[in-house]
């Protein structure tokens, strides 16, 4: 429905907007993991470059969604009151610092990680600022989207283990902790949402939660445990082929579960509130004590 008292699905944000949250969040999370890897002495040129490319791809996707793309620079005009303006400013800082970090410029890795964290926080607040969408305005959506972005970044880093030949154990453990934190954030969000919003929105979210639970959480955690157990039992490092494959599969599953949850949240669960009238006026019935209708 496009009008009437019942909730209807918004059409302003479609898959292009969802691509900004999926690609931008995962890319920013990957940049955070790249900075941690570099601090641990692991080369991170490729993760920095891929993270910047994903953030840029998400911004291009949402740029194509704008009705007047040539006016896109107006987004920088309202940083005091617009989370979208703040997201654009964070992206303007994130992209050059991430590229500089990929090129090996000293000190840029930490700056890129801080800008990436600011970017995902702005993205989460953009969603929560949409007060007319019950599934978005819940305050718990902010930690859900932030932890999802970081978990996706860790998942991307793990999925690329086949490319860079393994991963450090602390980064693997951190990725597992973030996957658990994402599930805890989802439970808190769903509990806060309760029965508010439309039934189709809640049904779409619960269906996405099943994929997040099995494909995005439990399966990756089991695979990561198997990779660590194999490395400990054989006395080998995590760069052996069996642990690398398990780690890469875990990363792919964790990434898929989080990405699908974002797509559903932005598109399928985005029902407007509809009309919320606590009481309808009736002629001759008092509206409040001492106040009668004419």
- Mean pLDDT (the chain) is 90
Instruction: Give domain status of residue 258, yes or no.
Output: yes
**Radius of gyration, alpha carbons of the chain:** 22
Domain total in the chain: 1
Q: Name which residue leads in pLDDT, 57 or 293.
A: 57
CA 271 – CA 199 distance, rounded (Å): 10
- Which pLDDT score is estimated for 280? 65
Instruction: Evaluate if residue 197 carries a pLDDT over 50.
Output: yes
Q: Which of the four pLDDT bands, split at 50, 70 and 90, describes residue 150?
A: very high
Q: Is the pLDDT of residue 230 over 90?
A: no
Residue 285 lies in a domain: no
Domain of residue 24, CATH code: 1.20.1630.10
Residue 1 has pLDDT above 50, yes or no: no
Answer yes or no: is 29 within a domain.
yes
Task: State the pLDDT at residue 239.
Answer: 72
Instruction: State how far the Cα of 30 lies from the Cα of 151, in Å rounded to an integer.
Output: 9
The 10s digit of each residue's pLDDT in 269-283 is 999 987 766 666 677
Question: What pLDDT is stored for residue 11 in this prediction?
Answer: 86
What's residue 141's pLDDT? 98
Give the residue-averaged pLDDT of 247-260: 96
Residue 3 pLDDT greater than 70, yes or no: no
Torsion of CA 21, 188, 222, 236, to 10 degrees: 70
What's the sign of the alpha-carbon dihedral 18, 19, 22, 24? negative
Length in residues, the chain? 294
Q: Is residue 280 part of a domain?
A: no
- pTM, two decimal places: 0.91
Q: What percent of the chain has pLDDT over 90?
A: 71
Whole-number pLDDT of residue 243: 87
Asked if residue 175 belongs to a domain, the reply is: yes
Gap between the Cα atoms of 157 and 15, Å rounded: 24
| Predicted confidence (pLDDT) per residue in 48-77, tens digit | 999 999 999 999 999 988 878 778 889 999
SS3 96: helix
**Cα–Cα distance for residue pair 158/166, rounded to 1 Å:** 8
The residues, ordered by sequence, that sit 6+ positions from 234 with a Cβ below 8 Å of its Cβ are: 240
Vertex 165: Cα angle to 232 and 256 (nearest 5): 90
- CA dihedral (133, 135, 137, 138) in degrees, to 10, reads 160
What's the confidence (pLDDT) of residue 6?
A: 79
Domain-embedded: residue 8 = no
Lowest mean pLDDT among 124-128, 260-264, 275-279: 275-279
CA–CA separation, 184 and 77 (whole Å): 36
Q: Is the pLDDT of residue 293 over 50?
A: no
What mean pLDDT do residues 101-116 have?
A: 96
Residue 294 has pLDDT above 60, yes or no: no
| Residue numbers of the domain that contains 77 | 15-268
């Amino acid at each position: 429905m496009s009008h009437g008292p019942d909730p209807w699905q918004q059409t302003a944000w479609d898959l292009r907007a969802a691509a900004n949250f999926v690609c931008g969040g995962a890319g920013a999370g990957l940049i955070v993991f790249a900075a941690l890897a570099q601090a641990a002495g692991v080369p991170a040129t490729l993760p920095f470059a891929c993270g910047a490319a994903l953030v840029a791809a998400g911004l291009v996707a949402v740029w194509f969604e704008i009705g007047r793309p040539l006016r896109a620079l107006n987004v920088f005009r309202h940083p005091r009151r617009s989370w979208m303006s703040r997201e654009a400013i964070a992206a303007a800082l994130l992209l050059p610092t991430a590229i500089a970090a990929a090129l090996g410029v000293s000190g840029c890795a930490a700056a890129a990680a801080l800008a990436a964290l600011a970017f995902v926080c702005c993205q989460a607040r953009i969603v929560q600022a949409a007060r007319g969408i019950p599934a978005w305005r819940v305050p718990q959506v902010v930690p859900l989207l932030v932890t999802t972005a970081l978990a996706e970044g860790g998942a991307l880093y793990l999925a690329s283990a086949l490319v860079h030949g393994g991963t450090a154990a602390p980064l693997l453990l951190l990725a597992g902790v973030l996957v658990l934190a994402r599930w805890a954030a989802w439970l808190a969000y769903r509990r806060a949402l309760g029965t508010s919003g439309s039934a189709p929105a809640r049904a779409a979210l619960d269906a996405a939660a099943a994929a997040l639970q099995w494909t995005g959480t439990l399966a990756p955690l089991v695979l990561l445990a198997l990779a660590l157990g194999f490395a400990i039992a054989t006395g080998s490092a995590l760069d052996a082929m069996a642990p690398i494959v398990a780690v890469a599969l875990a990363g792919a599953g964790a990434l898929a579960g989080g990405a699908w949850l974002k797509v559903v949240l932005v598109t399928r669960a985005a029902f407007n509130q509809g009309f919320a009238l606590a009481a309808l006026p009736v002629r001759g019935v008092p509206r409040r004590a001492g106040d009668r209708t004419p």
